[in-house]
């Protein structure tokens, strides 16, 4: 009987510690730890091409667009951030 009580107390302690630790987790957002503003700043090389359809698109812009394509939820995150 005493071992069952010790076991229940141990399980309760583990659950309590786990709950407290989960409350303090600083989860990353859709874009990882980068803020939506930082992600938007990465798109600066695309600014000229976005405003003028005849402007050449830089390789840096293409690289950034490809990276966003790998994580479309990040695109939604910073597109909707300031609404």
Task: Judge if pTM exceeds 0.85.
Answer: no
Distance between CA atoms of 43 and 3, rounded to whole angstroms? 61
43 with 49: CB under 8 angstroms? no
Q: How confident is the model over 4-63, as pLDDT tens digits?
A: 666 675 555 555 445 545 444 444 566 667 777 787 788 888 998 888 889 899 999 999
Task: Give residue limits of the domains in the chain.
Answer: 2-80
Residue burial 38-77, b: 16+ Cβ < 10 Å; e: rest: ebeebbebbeebeeeeeeeeeeebeebbeeeeeeeebbeb
């Amino acid at each position: 009987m005493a071992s069952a009580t010790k076991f229940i107390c141990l399980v309760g302690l583990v659950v309590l510690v786990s709950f407290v630790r989960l409350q303090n987790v600083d989860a990353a957002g859709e874009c990882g730890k980068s803020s939506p503003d930082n992600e938007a700043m990465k798109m600066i090389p695309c600014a000229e091409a976005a405003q003028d359809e005849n402007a050449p698109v830089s390789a840096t812009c293409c690289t950034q667009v490809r990276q966003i394509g790998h994580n479309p939820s990040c695109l939604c995150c910073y597109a909707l951030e300031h609404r």
